[in-house]
Every structure is written in structure tokens, then in C-alpha cells.
Structure 1
């Protein structure tokens, strides 16, 4: 087998300098069209392929996306990020891009990792997950002119239209609204809600979905709905405790006859505590929900990954300051309600 063609071979066949070939590969806009055509024709004839490592060094482009791995909590909610990372990595590879995973102990440490990766030219852009009110990570990335997209809205500001943020999110309001509406259609009226303490952008959005559906169709007033919602930290044990409180009722407050939850972790706790006595619907449609027959709201993570890559590689290139474009700066994806019949479980 003969030696692979080199950039010098391309220059010789095209009748140009080596630097001109390099310009065609890295900055084609500065080369005259007729010269550029001769070089690209020579590249095709020879089957020349640039040495990607050397090319990254010359252009300071790594074709790499950096994303933090969130710490594992109860092993249930963490599966959502795992599936998203898998979808993102698979779709990025199909576009000739790579995904670099890194860890950080908190948002401040994550910012330090941003600076390290930027200074080493290790990544071209970042994807952020687990966004929250007043997120300092997005502020740092904007101030340092870094390309990035968030999986989750920039909560606490003009979430839908803020020009400084590119984001993809799953419509949690829609998901919990659909879940609550499905239970109302089954004749349930006292449908409880178990979610996270406010302020929580994601949690508050999901609670609004429950509240709006209940306000529209349950016949209950705001005063009657308030005691049907419990805010608690995420987890199986807190979910069980919250459901027991809703089933016990309070003075002047009747027990719930169904419940929707902000996560599958909370829903699993509620399912165990109820021993199947009332319908329970979770959120995320994790493998645990699928295995136990727990109804849940499925996040279409393939669509999320696709939206993230569109914003990173399309007209915006991960930067909100790309000027006028018809491409929206965000993607809001609708989830899908999955209804199941759970197997009987013993009471906790």
C-alpha cells in the first residue's frame, strides 16, 4: 500500500503553495474561488484527509463539547442525565463531534473547570444541565464569550425570549397538566401534588401544570387546592412521607384520591406508601418506573439532544450574538404521558 497523500502532494497537484492549501482547509473565505476550486479538486483526486490532531492545533478547534456529570443521588433521577448524555454523544459523533465529560463539586467548581478547559483549548462549547434561579455558570460563560447551550431554561429571567441564552427544555407544565387531566378523566377530583420546595424553576413549572389543570376541571377553589400540594426534597423516602400525609388528611381536609409527582423518585415513594390504593403518576419515565409499571411522563431526550446540537452547530453556533436569524434561540419539547397499571406492592 502506498504512502498516504500529504498536504505537499495536494499543493503540487493544484499548482499552489502549501500555505494556500492550508488556507483552503481552515479559512476558505480568504482564497479566490478559482484557486479554491483547484485545491478542492486535487484533494478529491488524491483522497487527501487532513490530520485532525494537527489541524486542531493550527485552528485551536477541538470539535469537542464539554459537559459536567452531575453527582448521583438516589440512582433513579440520575438515569435521565445518563440517557441524555448517551443521546448527545451518539448524535454528536454522527456529526464528527466529540463529547468530553468532567466532574465538579458545585457551580463555582464547575466555573473553574470551564476556565481550565477554555485555557487549554480542550473544548469549543459547553452544554449545561440542572439550571436554576440566578445560575452563575451562565453569567460566567456569557461574560467570557464562550459558546454554550443549556438543557433547561435560564430560570428567573425572561425565560422564553432572553436574547443572551440559548436553551432546550422539556415542557414540564405540559407534562403535569396532561398527567392531571388524565386522572380527572378517570373521575378523580382530589388529586394531590408532591414536588420540590420553591423557588425551583423546573419544579414550579411542573406544579403550575397540575394547578392549572385542577383549576380548570376539578371544581376545587385555590383555597381547597393549597392543602393538596406538598413540597419536599427529592427522594423515595420524602415521597412516601408526603403521600402518607395526603392520605391521612387534615382537619377539614379530605384525603386525596390520586397524586402526581415532580419526579419518579417521589412517585416511587408515594407508590410504596399507597400500596396501590390510589393512582400515582411520576415524571421522567425512568427504568425504575418502567420495571414497576409506574405511570410517568417521558422526556424525549433524543429530541433534546438534537435541539442542543442544532443550537451549537446551526445559525447560532452556540452564541446568542450571531445577529438576526429566523432560527429561534430555544427549543421547547413536549413530553409524553405513559400510563401503566402497577403491580401490587406491600405497604411501607
Structure 2
């Protein structure tokens, strides 16, 4: 087995002392730029990685991020947070950080778990997911000066500029707005929206994208647009039932845009052949059945979360700093993936015969 390169090896390759290499790794501001560049080139050529355990002993930091492992979800789109966690773990490892998973039964229990991990010096900072209105977790973290970043905006607060709340998110408004415009440009006029019940920050944001596009381009009256707005819990059966009720009421529908791929599958089961449906999350199921869907850039989101949490130096978990002039948030635009439906029949029988 090949021997791993050491600090001494890097020093020999760069023609500097072991201490200079250590300074480049831990206090780069002490090293002249030309020397720092030589050491960094040697590190890259040798593929040297600092010994994580030694660094943790030296800095008295765990170099560990904590993130709650969400409960299992039956929805097709439940894999989204799993994909984010995978991307976060991969990128944290590349930066010499570890990710610790923990479970909690509810937000209050999550706060208790965060407090326990922080008090035990097991974790330096946290990544929170699934933010919501009046989220008690972020308030507690801010009050207790615990570094954190959320995947999701601080709904109901100053969701763009709150300097104490670092966050990354995907612009659901633009994703659904683009999807609705695509359907309108394809010839549809009566585009229905199938989303979650109100008072969901993420869901309301996506619904606004649909409504704004319909108001701008459909030519329909406001009351007609209102009739095309559907709410259902995130389940295939629930989505299918909501859309069937609308169709049975004689409401014209040319196309459907949905808040998730789970609801989109329900819509495909309820609509007649030829009615286009667009989902959200671009899950493997969407790919398998030829469902057009909005894809979230989860790799970029994970990288953005780490960038914010690690600060301008990008070397340890620091969270927000009064001295930092960098933006405290990152908002990423999703992209619409357009597909042709497969030959699999997912539509209900045509009862007009």
C-alpha cells in the first residue's frame, strides 16, 4: 500500500520548512503570497490531505456538522432531502469535515438534540432543513450563538437580508413560473395548479409562481384562475382525487403543473390522455415515466451551504461574522426538464364514450 504524503514531504517538494507548510494550512495570512503559492502547488501535486484528527486536537474543534435525519416519507419526492444530504456529505468530506446525523421527533426535540451535541463539543455547527413559518429552531440557534445555515428561507421573517440567518434555497417561484409559461407557450390556456394546502412557505412560493404566470399570460379572468387552483396533501391518491373532483365539476383543464412529482403522478392518473402534466423535484420516477419536472440544483445548494457556514477563509465552521461583507444567503434557480410521456398508460379511462 502506497505511503500517504506528509507535511514534511510537502515541505521538501516546495523547498520550505515544515512550519511554513503548517502556516499555509492554518494561518495563510502569515505567509508571503509567492511562498504560499509554491506550497499550495506542492499540496496539489502530492494530493496531500491534512490529518483531520490532529487538526481537531490542535484547534479544539470537532470539524463536524450536525444535520437531522428526516423521518421516512412515503411520497415519491421524499428522496429530495436524501439527495441533498448525500451531496452535503460528499462535499463536506472534500473539505475535511464530517457530518453527524441525528434524529428528532419534532422541532422542540431537535432543539434539545442540538443543545446536547453543542454542549458535548461533538458538533461545531448545524445544517437545518424544512424551514417553516415561526420556526423555533432558528430563533434558538441565534439566541445561543450557535453557527448554522438552513436549506430553506426563514419564512415570515426578513427572508432575504436577515444578517443573523445564513440560508440557501431554491427559487420555487421561478421554477413553477417557468413550468407554467412552458405549458402556456405550448398552447394550453387553462393550466391548473395542484399544490399543498396553504401556510407552507415552500408550497405558497411555488403557487405564486403559477398564479403570476397565469395572470401575466393566460388571458383568463381572476375568478377562472382561482377555480384552477387545487390543494391536496402530498400523496398520489390525494392528488388524483383533487383533480378528478375538478374534472367531474366540468372545469376545463388543458394542462397541470404540480408542487411535487408525487402530486404529478396523481394528476397523470386522473387526467385524460394528451393533457400535459409537469411535476417538481425531477425524481427517478419522473425520468422513468417521462414526466416533465422542475429539477433542484442540490449539488450547488450543498456547496453554497458550506461556503456560508465556513466563512471567507473556508477552513473552519464559523457561521456569521459582523466583519463579513459577503451575502448571507444564496438563492438558486431550478431548471425545467421537459420529457415526452412514455407509452405506459397512466391515465383514467375516457368516460366520454
Normalising by structure 1, report the TM-score.
0.83
1:83 aligned counterpart, secondary structure = helix
State the Cα distance separating 1:347 from its structure 2 match. 2.2
State the Cα distance separating 1:59 from its structure 2 match. 3.1
Superposed counterparts of 1:1-348, under 5 Å: 52-53=52-53, 55-57=55-57, 59-249=59-249, 254-315=251-312, 319-325=319-325, 327-343=326-342, 344-347=345-348
Change in 2 beyond 3 A, CA 1:54/1:302: closer
Bigger Rg, which one: 1
1:77 aligned counterpart, secondary structure = helix
Change in 2 beyond 3 A, CA 1:318/1:301: farther
- State the alpha-carbon separation in 2 of the partners of residues 49 and 172 from structure 1: 38
- State the alpha-carbon separation in 2 of the partners of residues 166 and 6 from structure 1: 34
Residue-by-residue CA offset, 1:138-192 (whole Å, 9 max, x unaligned): 0111111111110010001111111221111000000000000000011111110
- State the alpha-carbon separation in 1 of the partners of residues 185 and 249 from structure 2: 23
Aligned residues of 2:153 and 2:159 also touching (Cα < 8 A):
yes
Normalising by structure 2, report the TM-score.
0.82
Change in 2 beyond 3 A, CA 1:98/1:289: same
Q: How many equivalent residue pairs?
A: 321
Aligned residues of 1:248 and 1:255 also touching (Cα < 8 A):
no
Q: Which runs of 5+ in 1 are unaligned?
A: 8-19
2:309 aligned counterpart, secondary structure = helix
- State the alpha-carbon separation in 2 of the partners of residues 175 and 133 from structure 1: 21
- Pick which of 259-268 and 56-65 moved more: 56-65
State the Cα distance separating 1:58 from its structure 2 match. 5.0
Q: Could you say what the CA RMSD is over the residues aligned between the two structures, in angstroms?
A: 3.1
Residue-by-residue CA offset, 1:15-65 (whole Å, 9 max, x unaligned): xxxxx99x9799859x9989xx9xxx9xx9xx9998643542453311111
- State the alpha-carbon separation in 1 of the partners of residues 100 and 284 from structure 2: 25
Aligned residues of 2:170 and 2:296 also touching (Cα < 8 A):
yes
2:194 aligned counterpart, secondary structure = strand
- State the alpha-carbon separation in 2 of the partners of residues 75 and 197 from structure 1: 16
Aligned residues of 2:239 and 2:263 also touching (Cα < 8 A):
yes
Q: Which runs of 5+ in 2 are unaligned?
A: 9-18
State the Cα distance separating 1:277 from its structure 2 match. 3.9
- State the alpha-carbon separation in 2 of the partners of residues 218 and 274 from structure 1: 20
- State the alpha-carbon separation in 1 of the partners of residues 127 and 6 from structure 2: 37
